[in-house]
């Protein structure tokens, strides 16, 4: 448990640093070259009014000159919600776009889940719990692949990005005055990023439409896999039973069939997109 706690703390710290770097207008690597500390201005009751990024010691002048909102050559005032707001999206986005080995990651994770399935467990209830988690994990691996591929391809290709903006329903609903056009244009990438990260990628009908509209491809059939997505919902939210009280089967045969169907869909999708990693 200690190692897991340390890992989670490291993840949170890294996320805050990524968010801070973005606010300051510098890279994560440049931030790590600075000597700085984060101070808080708060009331006697402990209510935080704002954070202060304070440069301390010696830092490279060429990096300091890049910093946005720098006052007195050494500090930046931050609203209390800025770091928390950025954590939800920017750290997640950085993690997704830093690794483009989509197929390799997908197959490695499926192999790892199959290794868990092979573990010999004598106690029947424990085996059922393990099978349930493997089942859920396979759907999660599919979701990760679909989100990683979509986000990376869109942000790596201007035509895909334009297609996404033109076709996604969220942008059709947005209204703004002509005088706001430059401000809205500046925010376009951030808005698109948040929409993509907020998408539920096991909602296959929505994802299918996004892929087809953005990449101009034919998305593989989702019929067989989507029935397993419903079962995943029952496993997660109904303690393994349908709304009619029927137990969702997660024996090895069901898991093998799920794995085969997911593999088939992902393989066909990769061919459509001409992915080769």
pLDDT in tens, 216-239: 999 999 999 999 998 998 888 777
φ, ψ (nearest 5 deg) of residue 58: -105, 130
Q: Are 252 and 259 in contact (CB under 8 A)?
A: no
Q: What is the pLDDT of residues 5-54, one digit of tens each?
A: 443 344 445 567 777 888 899 987 888 889 888 888 776 666 677 788 99
Which residues touch 40 (CB under 8 Å, ≥6 apart)? 48, 50, 51, 52
Q: What is the pLDDT of residues 170-203, one digit of tens each?
A: 876 655 555 555 565 667 888 888 889 888 899 9
Q: What is the pLDDT of residues 149-176, one digit of tens each?
A: 999 999 999 999 999 998 988 876 655 5
Edge to edge, the sheet with strand 75-78 lists: 36-42, 48-55, 75-78
Q: Are 221 and 214 in contact (CB under 8 A)?
A: no
Q: What is the pLDDT of residues 66-118, one digit of tens each?
A: 999 999 888 999 877 776 555 456 767 787 888 889 999 999 999 999 999 88
Higher pLDDT, 179 or 269: 269
């Amino acid at each position: 448990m200690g190692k897991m706690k340390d890992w989670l703390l490291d993840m949170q710290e890294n996320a805050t640093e990524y968010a801070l770097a973005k606010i300051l207008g510098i890279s994560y690597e440049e931030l790590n070259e600075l000597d700085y500390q984060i101070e808080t201005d708060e009331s006697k009751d402990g209510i935080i009014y704002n954070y202060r990024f304070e440069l301390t010691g010696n830092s490279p002048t060429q990096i300091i000159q890049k910093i946005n909102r720098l006052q007195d050559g050494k500090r930046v005032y931050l609203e209390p919600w800025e770091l928390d707001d950025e954590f939800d999206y920017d750290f997640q986005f950085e993690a997704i776009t830093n690794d483009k080995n989509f197929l390799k990651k997908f197959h490695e994770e499926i192999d790892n889940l199959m290794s868990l399935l092979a573990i010999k467990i004598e106690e029947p209830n424990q085996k059922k719990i393990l099978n349930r988690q493997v089942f859920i994990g396979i759907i999660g691996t599919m979701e990760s692949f679909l989100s990683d591929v979509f986000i990376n391809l869109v942000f790596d290709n201007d035509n895909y990005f334009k297609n996404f903006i033109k076709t996604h329903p969220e942008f059709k609903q947005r209204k703004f005055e002509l005088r706001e056009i430059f401000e809205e244009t500046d925010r376009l990438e951030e808005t698109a990023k948040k929409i993509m990260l907020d998408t539920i990628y096991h909602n296959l009908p929505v994802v299918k439409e996004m892929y087809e509209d953005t990449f101009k491809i034919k998305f593989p059939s989702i019929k067989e896999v989507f029935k397993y997505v419903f079962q995943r919902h029952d496993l997660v939210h109904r303690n393994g039973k349908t709304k009619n009280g029927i137990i969702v089967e997660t024996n090895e045969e069901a898991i093998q069939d799920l794995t085969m169907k997911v593999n088939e869909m992902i393989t066909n999708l990769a061919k459509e997109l001409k992915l080769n990693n």
